[in-house]
Amino acid sequence: MVVKIIFIVLFFAMLVAVGFLSRKKAANIDGFVLGGRSVGPWLTAFSFGTSYFSAVIFIGYAGRFGWNFGLASTWIGLGNALIGSLMAWVILGRRTRIMTQHLGSKTMPDFFALRFDSKPLKITAACIVFLFLIPYTASLFNGLSQLFTASFPSLSYTWWVIIMAVLTGVYVIAGGYVGSAINNFIQGIVMLAGIIALVVAVVSSNGGLTEAVAKLSEQSVTTEAGTTFSGAYTSFFGPQPLQLLGVVILTSLGTWGLPQMVGKFYAIKDESAIHKGTVISTLFAIVIAGGSYFLGGFGRLYQSSVTLNAQGNPASFDTIMPAMLSALNLKMGSAGDWLIALVLVLVLAASMSTLSSLVLTSATTITLDLVAQVKTTMTEKKKMLFIRGLVGLSILVSGAIAILLVVNRELAGRLYISDLMGISWGTLAGCFLAPFLYGLFWKKTTRASVWACFATGLGITLTEFFVTSVAKYTFTNPFLNYFFNSAINAGMLAMLAGLVIVPVVSLLTRKTIPDHIDEKFDCYQQKVVVKVSDALPSDSTTES
């Protein structure tokens, strides 16, 4: 207990100190929200990665999908690294930085307003951001409940929510984007150390990698057709490849449309930062996401420590990873105390880094894209005060929801961490991914197509929520059952549908192409001078 407390106190003290030391960088709106668009590659890459991966992935997703898919769940981590990080940086990073600076946009709703000449789009997008970031922030707190309740049985989970909320609020309100970015870097280092240590501990405690895989291969699953599938959880694509595909697409491609993720590209300093950030972010994702899902794949080896229902599945998937840690602690003796202490700080770091990104995004969006549109005479000082106030309010609301979920066990039992995140990611990415992507690359993207995508994204995800949570209805049709009885698959459908709807509707509604569209894309034609070591010249430009 002493080791755990020392680790956590030192961690908290460091975060608060960084927040206050970063106050000078948050003296105005541009500095507070974007760090003056001068954030280097390491801070940007770690900010991107730690905002991407939180307690949701470690406690919720790794536990649930490791149990369902076995070692094949590692594909989710690799998809996150290659699609969610590498391709996102390569395809979106440079263009996002160039066009958002050219348009003068600070948020994703602001981008829609300036790119498509529509304030109603801005207001609608801001409302979607505010409403659907709440389930995600609640899931972060909920991700701590199982682990911290088991580690500190004498201290109520409510107090952990309050402590985490207050300290996150302090360093975000004080240091803004730069304070959060520096703390995200520190938190990222903790996450890397924790995941590596945990992978080594789990594999070693099961007799090494070969022996651990052999034990897992003894687990079998019976298909709906009645066929017994031996070695299902060590097979290449696992026992449920279609379900696995849905998770890969939602958690990987989804980052392209999330305002808290895309916003990191707004603040990139220069070309060098993009190149370095791409590599750093991808490697970070391979270790954190790949390591987390790889760990989750061994969850069934610890089923004796998990409460199972009549069907042989965990009563709550969110208890799998905490049960694994408890079993490790018993096996490792005193060394287990140090490991658990490190993992506790890992989960705190993962949760607080993502929470800071979410509340900063939400507060900035509401202030600049809603309130400032109504009160057009707001000074920059008042906007800063309003943003800081909303940061505190956002944390308060999400913390209250998380406490309600823990108190109301029946509700919490129906809303797993992965479901809360699926609702949030699915709706936001379903609404924003396609309009943002096409808006960066295609001049002929129209206002009408953006509205159509918003309506489709909301329609699909809200229909799934109503069917599963309100009506509690199960479709007999395999296609409808696949997409509308799972928040994750509904989110995937919303994203893929948007990628088709935007170009089709754009071609049918050419009259709603924004005015002066060529001027908006002129930013990509500006010439810059680079060294020959960075870019080979053509014959026509080579100097004799």
CA distance 65 to 46: 25
Q: What is the reported pLDDT for 115?
A: 95
Q: What is the reported pLDDT for 520?
A: 92
176: left (phi over 0), alpha (psi -120 to 50) or beta: left
3-state secondary structure of 319: helix
| Domain limits, the chain | 2-26+37-409
Q: What is the reported pLDDT for 439?
A: 96
3-state secondary structure 223-252: CCCCCEEECHHHCCCCCCHHHHHHHHHHHH
- The CA-atom distances, in angstroms, between 27 and each of 30, 174, 182 are 8, 10, 17
pTM for this structure?
Answer: 0.84
Report, as ranges of residue numbers, the positions in the chain whose pLDDT lies below 50.
Answer: 410-414, 543-544
The chain-wide mean pLDDT, for the chain, equals 83
Q: What is the reported pLDDT for 412?
A: 46
Q: What is the reported pLDDT for 153?
A: 67
Q: What is the reported pLDDT for 541?
A: 53
Q: What is the reported pLDDT for 218?
A: 87
Q: Which CATH number fits domain 2-26+37-409: 1.10.287.610, 3.40.50.300, 1.20.1730.10, 1.10.240.10?
A: 1.20.1730.10
Q: What is the reported pLDDT for 465?
A: 85
Q: What is the reported pLDDT for 225?
A: 57
CA distance 521 to 122: 20
Report the number of secondary-structure helices (H) and strands (E) in the chain. 26, 2
Q: What is the reported pLDDT for 88?
A: 94
Closest of 100, 111, 88, 391 to residue 267, by C-alpha: 100
Q: What is the reported pLDDT for 117?
A: 93
Residue in this structure with the two tokens 């993720």, named with its chain if needed? 261
Q: What is the reported pLDDT for 59?
A: 78
